[in-house]
Amino acid sequence: MKTARFLLSSLLTLFFISLTGGESISQAADAVSFGPRPLFLVEDMEAEELKEKLLQCQSQPAKTSNFSIGHRGAALQFPEHTRESYLAAARMGAGIIECDVTFTKDKALVCRHSQCDLHLTTDILDRPELAAKCSAPFSPASENGGKALVKCCASDLTLAEFKSLNGKMDGGNEKAETIAEYVKGTPGWRTDLYASNGTLMTHQESITLIDALGLKFTPELKSADVSMPYNGNYSQQDYATAMIAGYKAAGIDPARVFPQSFNLDDVLYWIENESEFGAQAVFLDGRYRGNSLNPADPDTFSPSMQELADKGLSYIAPPIWMLLALDETGQIVPSAYAKEAKKAGLNIITWTLERSGSLTNGGGWYYRTVTDAIDNEGDVMTVLDVLAKDVGVVGVFSDWPATTTYYANCMGLD
List, for residues 205-249, the tens digit of each pLDDT value. Answer: 999 999 999 999 999 999 999 999 999 999 999 999 999 999 999
pLDDT at 27 (0 to 100): 59
- Give the span between the Cα atoms of 134 and 137, in whole angstroms: 6
Per-residue pLDDT reduced to its tens digit, 373-403: 999 999 999 999 999 999 999 999 999 999 9
Sites in the chain below the pLDDT cut of 70: 1-29
- The pLDDT of residue 24 is 55
Prediction pTM value: 0.93
Residue 17 has what pLDDT?
Answer: 35
Per-residue pLDDT at 23? 47
Contact (Cβ atoms closer than 8 angstroms) between residue 72 and residue 98: yes
Judge contact between 370 and 387, C-beta under 8 A: no
pLDDT at 291: 85
- SS3 state at 190: coil
CA angle 320, 321, 327 (to 5 degrees): 120
Which spans in 80-217 are helix H?
Answer: 83-91, 118-121, 128-131, 159-163, 179-182, 203-212
Q: Tell me the pLDDT tens digit for each residue of 247-260.
A: 999 999 999 999 99
| CA dist list (Å): 142 to 6, 149, 297 | 41, 10, 44
Q: What integer pLDDT is reported at residue 29 of this predicted model?
A: 62
Cα separation of 192 and 78, whole Å?
8
